[in-house]
Structure 1
């Protein structure tokens, strides 16, 4: 299995051979984000600025103004919290052609704890005018998104998980901005997920099916801009929508889906995610169980929701 960060680094390194304007600005985390793949294969397209995330955004913006296609990647909270003023003022407000890869996004960051676990980044970037926000389900979709982002003129933020998970999509899967994907049909409820959590959500739906619960699974790779009509069409006429995300329930995918459904096709929307809490340092399996994001915990929560909504 390939991790998203490896897919990101490999794809960018390949693209440097196709486009002489692509480069990477690294704030001293290349061996973690796998920007070192670019450094090894195309050292003239790699700029090291040291542990200075705000400066990395400034350097990338200046390079974009000169016609380069710069990427910078670091741990997600260092982009969406520490350097957020620079992202807002230099990138989003100017429409600079800067690409941001938020590595180690979400709960699973290699036991680094709450300082490095970013479960607010979707809410922050989604609220920022001018930003495109992408969350791939796996390494295959990540590579397709990197290619799309390099060809797109404008700011892009990609939410990348640290660890490898089984691929959701086959090798021929492409990326189209805004599109949603129905991974499994079902008529009792719809499970809507994004990013690497989609794989666990899909597994939860299979567990539910074994217990007689028919759950549709919808993957949302583009948080902003989303094809709202496409999402409503994918939901069909299921009476219950449950969002599942490796992110706070405040302002993330759940909020986005609730906004769209309430305006265009009202029905019950329930949200599974981080319940407005700081997280902690622990092994991946422990964290997924504690915060209700493992496939077994998602399935159990959904069964409880379905039972609670059933007439007695």
Structure 2
């Protein structure tokens, strides 16, 4: 009997929020290759092709991205290369080597004008460079073909990196009153939630290698994958302070978007429907507030 060979899983952006969370949860799934920026820089498209060719992964999980939304407005060329062009190159290399590509996208591909939750068939209309670059990445992946999953998520946070949760905890320790936008709505989604749901999807891969690629090709497409429920940024801040162990709990001062101008426009409505991914993969998105509690009680774990 031939010895079983574990699949190679290449995780780009492995030192970011989602990448860090994924590494701990993918243990045992296959042979992990953690590609931080010094090993795989998505701004270097030739390097992207070279690394994938050398690693020969069965699965590529692309957690790397240009995520500085406001800075992207004045750094559009680099943003587009990393978020728009590199995912297409990854998809081309994945198809060439017979790998599944899992790529994360964003609620910012929409303009936020819809009343209800966005579904995958809704027409994108990004308001900023970051959203436009992520949409370009989605389209480049679809054009490349092969086996691929684009997972749109929203309002990602964790106990690592730069995000809204850590900003609120820092400000909460310094200020008695904190103004926070109250007229933008979405689902705060813990990086650990994204990692958990991704692993649940990957665990459904058929054992036989030839069957696996065909199985994933048939299911290729765009899926929304966030925590369940929704709140405003102000509501998210209040929930954070309700869980935080601060000497004095600060007061959240709700403000309109116009009172907090930023270089990049944000959608007012970032709610995404998770029905498609739930039906396709039989996975259930947990409530955002429950996951916030899990995150804040995880004592530094991603």
TM-score, normalised via structure 1 length: 0.35
TM-score, normalised via structure 2 length: 0.36
